[in-house]
Structure 1
């Protein structure tokens, strides 16, 4: 009989309300027993609404709680490295929100620490576990569009109300997210491309701050090559007149198109025939990611998103930004 793994969450903010937190409660083999937030009243409120027995405003107390077997770090990325090393010191299982850390160097240290201690380490690049993207992967493996030649991703959005105001937003604070929304959003797609086409062989890019609304970068372009020979390009612009999110995978016989963030149909075009394939995401979008953690911990199944894969994604991002 397998043992139930008891989880604690550090940083029970918006991402944990619907996307992730409930998945830890509803997954057989997992139990959510504690949460932490710096504001004790907010931590208490979260615990009450989600029926979590214990709450803290001190991360060390949650990490050292003997009734907590595993820790999910859901804070802004600038504290991921700090908390992850504390979780490793406590010899506990860990899952870290993406990006794993703001830099490749910090990701390397986290990964090496957990690897040396043979501790399970997961990172919440949950698209690797979603049915819609695994369908894309199977279509590629079945050579539906022939041999893949290149992939392109264009992501743009209008300036948000937060961007136009004096309200603090950690996602555009250069000290926390040096490349702004690129750190938060582009990491998802680049990680997915490594999953679909194999590891990146090389990458480079150009970046800047065109709007001067905040300290982080607001426009980035990149190009890369996968070890498989697939070539890719990306453009991420966060001050345009409209929102757009489109990936095109071009093959020798056709193409696939889809959105990284929008729940739009997967477009399949082969010769003169086009069809749309609809695959809906679950209500709690990290559900399959969390379920795969249970499978990894209780069988020979290898979770697709771990410290090693996330560290590689961090390397790609730093290469595009010219940081390494």
Structure 2
């Protein structure tokens, strides 16, 4: 008989309202039993609205709760290392929101801690579990575009009202996210490319602050090579006149194009045909990611996003940013 795994969430903010939190309640074999937020009233409000039994404003109390078997860390990345090491010390299962931590060094130390204790560690790079991206993976494996030569990703957006205000935003604070929105957003695509094409063996890039609206970088370009021989290039610019998000995978016999963040169709172009493939995302975007954790913990299934894969993504980002 499968054992029910009881979860607690540290940091029950916006990301947990629809994207992730409900998935822990909906998944067979999982139960959400506790949440923590520094503001006790907000923690209570979340618990009451989502029918969660217990709430805390102290993370240690949640981690040490004997009814909690596993902890989902959904705080900003500057505290991921601190909480993850506490969860490891407590000997509990852990899932960390992306990016895994502020640097490759922190990620490596977290991963080593869980490895040494033989404790499961997952990271919320949920695109590895989404049907639309697994369709892309299957099209590549079926050799629909021949031998893959190159992948490119262009991501841009206009500066937001928040960027141009004095209101604090951790996503553009260099102490938390040195490359700003690149840290928060580009990690998703770079992690996805590793899932599609295998590990990266070399990477480099240039990072700049063109707008001087905040302390973090706002324009980054990068290039990399996968161990499979696929070359990659990326440009991430957060001060342009419009939003754009397009990935092109070029092969010897055709190409695939799609968006990392937008729910636009996947387009398959070959010499004699163009096919448009529409696959909608689930209401709770992390649903399949969370369900795959349950499968990993209860069967022989291997979850596609672990501490090991996320640490490699952190290494790629660190190389592009010149931090390694």
Q: TM-score range by the shorter chain?
A: over 0.9
The within-5 A match list for 1:280-291 is: 280-291=280-291
Q: Which runs of 4+ in 1 moved over 2 A?
A: none
Deviation at 1:272, TM superposition (A): 3.3
Deviation at 1:217, TM superposition (A): 0.3
The within-5 A match list for 1:83-102 is: 83-102=83-102
Q: Distance in 1 between matches of 2:304 and 2:132?
A: 15
Q: Distance in 2 between matches of 1:169 and 1:7?
A: 28
TM-score w.r.t. structure 1 length? 1.00
Name 1:115's counterpart in structure 2. 115
The within-5 A match list for 1:150-299 is: 150-299=150-299
Name 1:305's counterpart in structure 2. 305
Q: Distance in 2 between matches of 1:211 and 1:84?
A: 34
Name 2:81's counterpart in structure 1. 81
Tell me the secondary structure at the aligned position of residue 168 of structure 2. coil
Deviation at 1:2, TM superposition (A): 1.0
Name 1:320's counterpart in structure 2. 320
Deviation at 1:161, TM superposition (A): 1.1
Deviations 1:263-320 (A, max 9, x none): 0000000003111100000000000000000100011111000000000000000000
Tell me the secondary structure at the aligned position of residue 234 of structure 1. strand
Deviations 1:130-155 (A, max 9, x none): 00000000000000000000000000
Q: Distance in 2 between matches of 1:254 and 1:291?
A: 34
Tell me the secondary structure at the aligned position of residue 63 of structure 1. helix
Tell me the secondary structure at the aligned position of residue 188 of structure 2. helix
Deviations 1:85-116 (A, max 9, x none): 00001000000000000100000000000000
Q: Distance in 1 between matches of 2:27 and 2:160?
A: 35
Q: Distance in 1 between matches of 2:212 and 2:164?
A: 11
| Residue segments in structure 1 that go unaligned for 5+ positions in a row | none
Q: Distance in 2 between matches of 1:240 and 1:97?
A: 28
Name 1:16's counterpart in structure 2. 16
Deviations 1:65-91 (A, max 9, x none): 001000000000000000000000100
Q: Distance in 2 between matches of 1:260 and 1:172?
A: 21
Name 1:4's counterpart in structure 2. 4
Number of matched pairs: 324
Deviation at 1:28, TM superposition (A): 0.4
Name 1:140's counterpart in structure 2. 140
1:50 aligns with 2:50: yes
Q: Distance in 2 between matches of 1:25 and 1:41?
A: 22
TM-score w.r.t. structure 2 length? 1.00
The within-5 A match list for 1:29-48 is: 29-48=29-48
Tell me the secondary structure at the aligned position of residue 163 of structure 1. coil
